Amino acid sequence: MARPEKTAAVAEIAEDFRSSTAAVLTEYRGLSVSQLTELRRTLGEGARYAVVKNTLTKIAAGQAGVTGLDELFVGPTAVAFVSGDPVEAAKGLRDFAKANPALIVKGGFVEGKAMTAEEIRKLADLESREVLLAKLAGAMKGSLSGAVGLFAAPLSQVARLAEALREQRASEAGAAGAEAPAAEAPAAEAPAAEAVAAE
């Protein structure tokens, strides 16, 4: 391979490392072309699976600031560059490897941190981002419903108390209004009585 082609290949791989949230290194020895095509489909749109040259990829990883992977660049290597959810990609690789034991996960990095093959397997056992967000939203909705009930109870009690006070004042005002005309009536008769006395 000519030098400019190698330089271009390193630059492309380095950009793949930089733009990916995760990269999983695998050994694909023994997999057919059709199996590799199936693996690419399994990983979905959020990942790109590329067969790479170890030397060029090691240089590219160094240029991208990815460390801790040097010992993984042995034997036939392919990298799953993940731009989507790393958990989904790890699940896809795990499930494919169960059906096709020739695929071996060597390790990788997730969000800048180097990970062993065992850590990648543990990542695959996690629930996806969407599931975790749905659970969080459900928990928050439950908490908010409880909070609404908690806040609504004192407000409804205040409203009932205000209504009771209004009714009490209305009834007191009604009772006072009924007593007032009776009290005023003798006062109204007083001038008439005085007029009779004057005659």
Q: Helix H segments across 44-128?
A: 54-63, 86-99, 117-125
Residue 139 tokens, joined? 């928990």
Residue 197: its pLDDT value, please? 46
DSSP letter string over 1-22?
--HHHHHHHHHHHHHHHHH-SE
What per-residue string of b and e applies to 95-122 under the rule 16 or more CB within 10 Å gives b?
ebbeebeebebbbbbbeeeebebeebee
Report the C-alpha gap between 71 and 78 in whole angstroms: 14
Residue 10 tokens, joined? 């390193």
- Please report which helix (H) or strand (E) contains residue 116, including its range: strand 113-116
Report the C-alpha gap between 194 and 199 in whole angstroms: 9
Q: Express each pLDDT in 83-138 by its tens digit.
A: 988 888 888 899 999 999 999 999 999 988 899 989 988 888 876 556 556 766 76
Q: CB 128: neighbour CB atoms within 10 A?
A: 15
Residue 145 tokens, joined? 């419903």
Residue 33 tokens, joined? 């072309």
CATH of 3-126, one of 1.20.140.10, 3.40.50.620, 3.90.550.10, 3.30.70.1730: 3.30.70.1730
Report the C-alpha gap between 94 and 108 in whole angstroms: 14
15 contacts: CB under 8 Å, gap ≥ 6: 64
Residue 123: its pLDDT value, please? 85
Domain spans in the chain, listed from the N-terminal domain onward? 3-126, 130-199
pTM (2 d.p.): 0.60
**Half-sphere exposure for 54 (CA within 13 Å, toward CB):** 11
The helix/strand/coil state of 78 is: strand
Q: Express each pLDDT in 131-182 by its tens digit.
A: 556 766 766 666 666 656 556 566 667 677 778 788 888 888 777 666 555 5
